[in-house]
Structure 1
Amino acid sequence: MKIALISPKGPLYRHRAGIFGKSLRYQPLTLTTLAALVPEELHAEVMLFDEGIQDVPSDLEADLIGLTVITGTARRTYELADQYRAQGKTVVLGGPHVTLVPQEAAAHADAIVTGYAEDTWPQLLRDFSAGCLQALYCQAPDFSLDRPDMPFARRDMFDSKQYLTQAVFEATRSCAHDCEFCVAPSAWGRKQFQKPVSWVIDDIRRVGAKRILFVDLNLVSDRQYARELFTALIPLKIRWFGLSTVLIAHDPELLELIARSGCRGLLLGLETLDKGGLSDARKKFNGSVDYAGLIGDLHALDIAVQGCFVFGLDHDTTDVFDETVQFAIDTGIDLPRFALLTPFPGTPLHHRLKEQNRLLTLDWELYDGQHVVFQPMNMSPQELATGHERAWKAVYRPSAIVRRLWKARAWEPLAIGANLGYRFYAHNLHRFYNCDWHLSSVGTPINLPSMVPIKTKSNTVCG
């Protein structure tokens, strides 16, 4: 059996090497994990294609082709899937977008997988081998990542020279919070799934890198698990980077432990400086934290901050852009990042904006956090788009970079290089993202079809 697994390119990589070029991409875990889950008894030949770094053959020699789909890559995914199916190939789709809108995805596939795939993907392959492929495979209600037979990702199947790093790891999945715009609770629920700490440590030891990246949505969601993991990391003497909520500000002991475990950078979802905006996003818990104080505490522990903000919340006015940029400079955020509020399908935000007739398009390729796809409350779509671009350019102008890094005391080459990379991004945002796409039809909401989830024979919703 020959299996081809594809991660289609999104808008950022519609140009061959993307905005940053190949060298600043980290190796994704999805395809290498799926490759590791292929049952040994099938003796399958597996090929992996990350379209962000390589071209995908138009005529693949494969018996089964699997594509993983996020919303921003859905259009490209369906294009490839339809092309391969027209050639008589069997096509399987999975990933968060498929889980959120399974009926839409099913129209482009012979089978779809909703939810996490550790159980369903091997079963699908066995069924295909036996000639009894089903149309739908759903994550089991008793799904768990605490299992003795869990294989390690096949990182070796990609060329390490194509990525900034292959040392990408995952200890947990999903998050306990229910932010209105977040895909995770809508796709996978709020229960956090955890891998055994011993398994995570073994995986890190196997790779042997001294700088690693955790891609977990919220490493500190379960404080007890986080303490066990961070304690186990200390003897490895590594430097790691990951994601957290700002609630770590309320646990000084955990902050100290994070630093001792080797953490040198955290991505924080700051979202907005406005408490009304935090309420809009169902993220009131952020309001309990003094952002400036937390950033200062992290810098004192030699932990860099990648602070992420969202523009377009209902409380935002045109003042939000300059205010946020100034805050990022004054507090010395090492790497500020700005995104536009995006109502991904299946999320509460999408449902609300649809009911309010504020969605402007269902072109999923524009659902990438860098396009205005809805009518803002207190500004025009054009004002939101141009303000967003202006904020990127302002926070990454040379004087702003110097002031931020001086405040953060971050002069190592990695910090400077990352800032220069984002400066390039900021000054090419308009060209690469085509931010004027909507300006000829500003304020003209569209009539949207309903999105009905697929149902099983027992009439229960999957995904």
Structure 2
Amino acid sequence: MAAASRRILLTSVFKPFAVDDEFGSRAINPVELYHNQVTREQGPFSLRMFHRTWSLMFLRENISAPCTVLDFPTRARFIRELRTRRYDIVGISAIVVNVGKVREMCRLVREYSPHSTVVVGGHVTAIPDIERLIDADHIVRGEGIGWLRTFLGENPEAPIRHPLIRSSFGFRVMGLPMVQDRKTRSATIVPSVGCPMGCNFCTTSAFFGGKGRFVNFYRRGDELFRVMCEAERHLGTRSFFMMDENFLLYKKRALELLACMQAHDKAWSLYVFSSANAVRQYDIRQLVQLGVEWIWLGLESSESGYVKLAGTDTLALTRELQAHGICVHGSTIVGMEHHTPDNIWRDLDYAITHDTVFHQFMLYTPMPGTALHRQVAAEGRLLEDVDLADTHGQYQFNFRHQAISRDQSKVLLDAAFRADYERNGPSLFRLMRTMFDRYRRYRADADPLVRARAERAAGQLRGGYMAALWAMERYLQPTNPAVSERVRGLRVELGREFGALSRLSAAAVGSMVSVALRREASRYPAGRPLEPRTFVERTNGA
């Protein structure tokens, strides 16, 4: 059958996610990156947002066949799609914890669309013997665009077409929904997938080939620049989340992108992932001119031996970056092999001392497909009775640690999140502090593009952010007066910088924010239960 005549349904697994159910959903594991893994112990200050299933969007964009994307459907909506439209191929993308939902969706396809070919991809395919757990016709591991093009009889080597991706949706904080406009909206760009650093616990590196390998969609800076121009034109964005596991590692491409930005007067802002050794390839001026305003940085223990940290003082690096207005998002692994209940807080305290704007804590977890999983399995230390739905790094160990029990692992993880929040304050406060440092350092810079970014930060600070500080200060005063005083200090500095009108506005709007903040904290102490909305998108005549 010709590709153009085959109809394709590409779908994520069904919601709800933040509940305990028979399909493997867990209330403790919502489909929210920040509220799940970063700000979850920050009460009403936790950042709430969702992200699309980007893999489905890439697949849809790179085939010519009629295609429907169903992102975050309910189970009933998925059934309705199968019953009301005829599909030759049903593709399901999922991660490991959602294997129960994949099993159920495969069963539903057999029941309601028995003529369809079922294809399953994503990290769920790393599960050993996945073929015996689900009823699928094809299991696709690794990058799937080439596979699907080949399966449809299309050219697998054709250039990759990048979809238009808004970085997030459904953003809420402090009990209020946030409207994203041109000044605050970001687009996601995926220059490559995988990471050649090959940390033993890393699912992304393992999934796309392991150490020394990755799949590079855009090798040159000018290619990347054109993709970003398209996103700017259609989405109206000036900020880009570069979904690349180690974007700064490829310095030649990054500097080529910088040259394009300078030649075309693009005062773009970039949010990137990077390893410490990759950041050290650049001087701070290059990072500032490139518009890097946020770096996700691994801060694993100095005893971990990972190459990406070799020879780098991460504390000094973090302080230097944030002094220049570059927000650092730290990531720390809890329960590494050398950790014991007696020594683990030495590493956790050191990580918290970095005072990064955001901080992710994750349990050391042998995920299927990784080198760590193979090692622990060979040693006979995997816990066979742990449900795959509970294997995600935010609950408990799925293996026998030599010094820390499974129950202790959860206690330590939660304590790390709480300690970071109690000592350093809400990430929202840290974000504003770092943005103010950016503004003060670069508001009079000789480079007009750098000045433009500094003025964008000032626009946000003199507006709603000051009101948020007013409410935050008063909310924290009874329970954490030390942090409340630091919040007050920043608010006073901003008021002094931006004038009497900004101070009056902050108090007026802040009183209303305070009401919403306290209401949210009272009604939902563990965070308001939220689910992503459903997306249905049809292309190529679908």
Shorter-chain-normalised TM-score: which range?
0.7 to 0.9
In structure 2, what is the equivalent of residue 352 of structure 1? 375
In 1, Cα distance between the equivalents of 2:99 and 2:118?
A: 14
CA 1:119 to 1:403, structure 2 compared with 1: closer, same or farther past 3 Å?
closer
Partner of 2:201: 181
For the aligned residue pairs, the C-alpha RMSD in angstroms reads 3.9
1:330 maps to which of 345, 350, 353: 353
1:218 aligns with 2:246: yes
Question: How many matched pairs?
Answer: 398
Does 1:393 pair with 2:418? Answer: yes
Partner SS for 2:322? helix
Instruction: State the SS of the aligned residue for 1:115.
Output: coil
Which segment is superposed worse, 70-79 or 221-230? 221-230
CA gap of 1:414–1:67, structure 2 versus 1, over 3 A, is farther
Measured in 2, the distance between the counterparts of 1:173 and 1:402 equals: 28
Deviates more, 1:240-249 or 1:184-193: 184-193
Question: What SS is found at the alignment partner of 1:58?
Answer: helix
Q: Kindly indicate whether the alpha-carbon contact (under 8 Å) linking 2:197 and 2:307 is maintained by their aligned counterparts in 1.
A: no
The reply to whether residue 263 of structure 1 matches residue 288 of structure 2 is: no
Match in the other structure for 1:192: 214
1:53-452 to structure 2, matched below 5 A, reads 56-59=77-80, 60=82, 61-63=85-87, 64-87=89-112, 88=114, 89-98=116-125, 101=128, 103-104=130-131, 107-126=134-153, 149-153=159-163, 155=165, 162=170, 167-189=187-209, 190-194=212-216, 195=218, 196-208=220-232, 209-234=237-262, 235-253=265-283, 255-272=284-301, 274-275=302-303, 278-279=304-305, 283-319=306-342, 322-361=345-384, 363-371=387-395, 372-397=397-422, 400-401=425-426, 405=430, 409-410=434-435, 412=461, 428=526
Q: Aligned equivalents of 1:321 and 1:360: distance in 2?
A: 22
Contact 2:355 2:424 in 1 (8 A): no
| Separation in 2, partners of 1:335, 1:80 | 36
Conserved in 2, the CA contact under 8 Å of 1:332 and 1:403? no
Cα distance in 1 for partners of 2:321, 2:192 equals 23
Provide the C-alpha distance between the structure 2 equivalents of 1:241 and 1:408, rounded to a whole number of angstroms. Answer: 17
Gaps (5+ residues) in structure 2? 1-5, 20-24, 36-45, 172-179, 437-460, 477-516, 531-542
2: CA distance, partners of 1:125 / 1:162: 35
**Alpha carbons of 1:154 and 1:292: their partners in 2 closer, same or farther (altered >3 Å)?**
closer
| Cα deviation 1:128-178 (Å, max 9, x = unaligned) | xxxxxxxxxxxx9xx87xx5x33231549x9x8557756111112222212
Supply the distance in 2 between the matched residues of 1:406 and 1:117 (Cα, whole angstroms): 36
Which gives a bigger RCO, structure 1 or 2 (Cα 8 Å, sep 6+)?
Answer: 2
Shift of 1:298: 0.7
Give the conservation status (yes or no) of the 8 Å contact 1:5–1:48: yes
**Where does residue 439 of structure 2 map in the other structure?**
none
Task: Label 1:83 to 1:124 Cα distance change in 2 as closer, same or farther (>3 A).
Answer: same
Larger radius of gyration: 2
- The code of the aligned residue for 2:272 comes to G
Deviation at 1:397, TM superposition (A): 3.0
SS of the equivalent of 2:411 reads: helix
Q: C-alpha offsets along residues 5-45 of structure 1, whole Å, 9 cap, x if unaligned? A: 11226855746985659961233421111111222xx4x1x
**1:286, distance to aligned residue in structure 2 (A):** 1.0
TM-score, normalising length: structure 2: 0.64
What amino acid maps onto 1:191 in structure 2?
R
Structure 1 match to 2:535: none
- 2:145 match: secondary structure: coil
Give the Å deviation of 1:82.
2.0
